[in-house]
Amino acid sequence: MATANERAARAPTTAVGAGGETHQSASAPDARLTTNHGVPISDNQNSLKGGRRGPTLLEDFVLREKIQHFDHERIPERIVHARGSAAHGFFELTESLGDVTRAKVLTEVGEKTEVFVRFSTVAGGAGSVDTPRDVRGFAVKLYTKEGNWDLVGNNIPVFFIQDAMKFPDLVHSVKMEADRGYPQAASAHDTFWDFVGLMPETTHMIMWAMSDRAIPRSFRMMEGFGVNTFRLLNDADEATFVKFHWRPKLGLQSTCWDEAVKIAGADPDYQRRDLHEAIERGDFPEWEFGVQLLSQQEADALPFDILDATKVIPEELVPIRVVGRLVLNRNPDNFFAETEQAAFLPTNVPPGIDFSEDPLLQGRLFSYQDTQLSRLGTVNFHQIPINRAKGCPFQNLQRDGKMQTQVPQGRANYEPNSLAEHGEIGGPREDPEGGFRSFALPLEETKVRLRAETFADHYSHARLFYRSQSAVEQAHLASAIVFELSKVEIEAIRVRVMANLRNVDEDLAARVAAGLNMELPPKSKPAAEPTDMAPSPGLRLIDKYPATLKGRAVAILVTDGADSGVVDDVRTAVEAAGGAVKVIAPKIGGVTLSDGVALKADGQLAGSPSVLFDAVALALSEEGCAELLKESAATDFVQNAFVHLKAIGFTPQAKPLLDKAGVEPDAGIVELGAAKSFVVPASTRQWDREPKVRLLA
């Protein structure tokens, strides 16, 4: 584990800048404050004035430099995926894919490759919240020996649109509306659903976005997908299609919608904090890396087009081969320098990995490089430390440009040149054997601007997804659509969406109509009639919900006089099961337990609602409980834990609070200290409770 202190301790007292210059790091005990040009500063409190109370002088370069740098501290935020957080770690290959690729990162078993991974929401701005209903970005930069490989994925394996041409329209529709500047970080508004209704190709992704996948419990508990189909190329340049997968060791876990909404208020940085704190305490998040491999013949035999990013390849049809693992074990030292300046490029692929003709991917191949130019302001953004190729040198004859930090030697800035023959520096040369080669795709057709017929089916996969879900998940999905459409003001937009939903599943459409209390409209005419595919249990979420406390947090709410034995027992049991314990008390100074021992609090009740924890234990004394009955934060604490399907452990003295909060007994309501384990129900959600606490569509 690398705590902030340990990192500071091992940090060098001088750091090497990207261009090789050194500057004293702030952690050096004798560090002297200087201007950006190294001039020592004598006074950092007062500007230079003409007289004791006179005007500030233009001559004051110390003040001007400081304010000017501050004025320019911000760079444009990402147009999408603006809000994100990241961590360093490594990728380790556990099984070689040498039969299908020559990429060393996928053939050298046991080799550890440094990575930087950024997770993000998509629609909200950089200052928005962590828990909206949204797709999550899962961008991995692998610093391989053969150049950076950026696997820029999402936590959902399909996408809203089939062709990059529609991306600006999609993003405009989901972002805050153009005239009013709201809603922020929300898809529940007219323009988004207008686009959805008019573009049936969005339907499959809508199923995923309305499922609990779009309200994940933690970045550590999400799957990741490369989404687009790529190619792997072996030594003989033979191609195999590939889909990339990341599978979390902690399993897939999500929140309840009502909980996600409340977390946004209680802790807008919930997921960012969760990732940071897990890594600080040495609880390193880990994912399996898997691939689905298909030959051209296997791809041709599928009843859908693998170049269409709105289609999923069910793992029951093409199994996922696990060949590696990803571990995140170090927080960034500086958010701006690393997380904000990280530039991910789907075009970054090492030899042995290549693109497919997926028209969405093809557009991405242009967009990311282009957006980095405007975001980071220079063609030299690859020289920023977080973006530099670290696994190997980068060397070419490109020169100059804004913010050039390299100092190339010699006169050879062109190729071919013969200078090496004359004892001068000749510069790097191309490598026909080891260099990147594209797949020799035969191209014989005429130029066209159209959508292939093989992309016409917009509903079969949406149907497959919906019908593959468990009953609980189907109810959540239908309720999410009802929630979102209820925020849509133009009725015709709701009607159009419902008409499309009838092509997915009549039951789903009827549930949505009932939830809106609207007539079910006639079915819209699909471009291609949907077909029934065999359900794919692999598409479920709740089945991948592990019964474990590992990676989860349990709050113990304590009052003065609470039984210290109970508090100790809960802590010991939870920690033994891999969970983290937070003590919550009415006051941050803590409480005095029954044995007179003082217990400090990690959080104060009013600022630490139960939405921030996976299960709660109420270790209250009789007097403490009587006090809490007068505090609505306490009632909310218990009631929310109940309606968010969490386990509640309680001392008998806490019973009046349970009653006031309307808690009804079930398998998740456990008396502490009694024979029944609290850890068992705390390790999962109480799905059976849901019909008692919520009317679902």
Q: Which window, 49-57, 329-337, 356-364, 545-553, contacts ligand HDE (CB under 6 A)?
A: 356-364
Instruction: Work out whether 347 is an interface residue with ligand HDE (CB under 6 A).
Output: no
Question: Binding residue for ligand HDE (CB under 6 A) from 105, 129, 227, 233?
Answer: 227
Residue 232: enclosing H or E segment and its boundaries? strand 230-233
* Minimum distance from residue 176 beta carbon to ligand HDE (Å): 17
Q: What DSSP line would sit under 428-489, residue for residue?
A: ----TTTS---------PPP--S--GGG---SHHHHHHHHHS-HHHHHHHHHHHHHHHHT--
Nearer to ligand HDE, 365 or 520 (CB): 365
Instruction: Work out whether 318 is an interface residue with ligand HDE (CB under 6 A).
Output: no
Residue pointed to by tokens 């409480």: 591
Four-CA torsion 474, 477, 483, 487, nearest 10 degrees: -140
Total H helices, total E strands in the chain: 19, 20
Nearer to ligand HDE, 159 or 466 (CB): 159
User: Cβ neighbours of residue 387 under 8 Å, at least 6 residues apart?
Assistant: 141, 148, 341, 342, 343, 381
Instruction: Work out whether 115 is an interface residue with ligand HDE (CB under 6 A).
Output: no
DSSP label at 78? Answer: P
Q: Which window, 17-25, 72-80, 185-193, 476-484, contacts ligand HDE (CB under 6 A)?
A: 72-80
As given in the structure block, the two tokens for residue 307 are: 């170049």
Instruction: Work out whether 344 is an interface residue with ligand HDE (CB under 6 A).
Output: yes
* Minimum distance from residue 213 beta carbon to ligand HDE (Å): 14
Active-site residue (options: 88, 148, 154, 500): 154
Determine contact, residues 668/646, Cβ cutoff 8 Å: yes
Q: Which amino acid is residue 614, in one-letter code?
A: D
Instruction: Work out whether 137 is an interface residue with ligand HDE (CB under 6 A).
Output: yes
Instruction: Work out whether 246 is an interface residue with ligand HDE (CB under 6 A).
Output: no
Instruction: Work out whether 488 is an interface residue with ligand HDE (CB under 6 A).
Output: no
Four-CA torsion 121, 320, 160, 376, nearest 10 degrees: 40
Q: Which residue is nearest to ligand HDE (CB)?
A: 137
* Annotated binding residue 375: yes
**Binders in 5-64 for ligand HDE, by CB under 6 A:** none
Instruction: Work out whether 78 is an interface residue with ligand HDE (CB under 6 A).
Output: yes
Environment class of 114 (CB within 10 Å of its CB; exposed 0-12, middle 13-18, buried 19+): middle
Q: What DSSP line would sit under 150-196, residue for residue?
A: EEEEESSSS-S-SSGGGHHHHHHHHSSPTTT---SS---SHHHHHHH
Active-site residue (options: 81, 204, 382, 458): 81
| Residue 501 C-alpha from the chain's centroid | 28
Of 688, 678, 613, 612, nearest in space to 645 by CA: 688
Nearer to ligand HDE, 98 or 125 (CB): 125
Question: Binding residue for ligand HDE (CB under 6 A) from 91, 149, 159, 613?
Answer: 159
Question: Binding residue for ligand HDE (CB under 6 A) from 195, 246, 270, 368?
Answer: 368
* Site string (183-222) toward ligand HDE, x via CB under 6 A: ----------------------------------------
Distance CA 119, CA 139 (A): 6
* Annotated binding residue 364: yes
Question: Binding residue for ligand HDE (CB under 6 A) from 152, 318, 386, 573?
Answer: 152
Q: Give bridge partners of residue 245 from the DSSP assignment.
A: 225, 290
Distance CA 292, CA 244 (A): 7
Instruction: Work out whether 120 is an interface residue with ligand HDE (CB under 6 A).
Output: yes
Distance CA 122, CA 128 (A): 11
* Annotated binding residue 143: no
Instruction: Work out whether 175 is an interface residue with ligand HDE (CB under 6 A).
Output: no
Distance CA 653, CA 665 (A): 16
Interface size with ligand HDE, residues (CB under 6 A): 27
Annotated active-site residue 334? The verdict is no
* Annotated binding residue 78: yes
As given in the structure block, the two tokens for residue 320 are: 């996922």
* Minimum distance from residue 368 beta carbon to ligand HDE (Å): 4
Q: Does residue 416 have a cis peptide bond before it, meaning omega lies within 30 degrees of 0?
A: yes
* Minimum distance from residue 528 beta carbon to ligand HDE (Å): 22
Nearer to ligand HDE, 344 or 355 (CB): 344
Q: Which amino acid is residue 262, in one-letter code?
A: K
Annotated active-site residue 72? The verdict is no
Instruction: Work out whether 349 is an interface residue with ligand HDE (CB under 6 A).
Output: no
* Annotated binding residue 225: no
* Annotated binding residue 167: yes
* Minimum distance from residue 598 beta carbon to ligand HDE (Å): 44
Helix (H, G, I), strand (E, B) or coil at 356: coil
Residues that bind ligand HDE (CB under 6 A): 78-81, 84, 118, 120, 137, 139, 152-154, 159, 164, 167, 227-228, 309, 342, 344, 360, 363-364, 367-368, 371-372
Q: Give the annotated binding-site residues for heme.
A: 78, 118, 167, 364, 368, 375
| Catalytic positions, written as ranges | 81, 154
Q: Give the annotated binding-site residues.
A: 78, 118, 167, 364, 368, 375
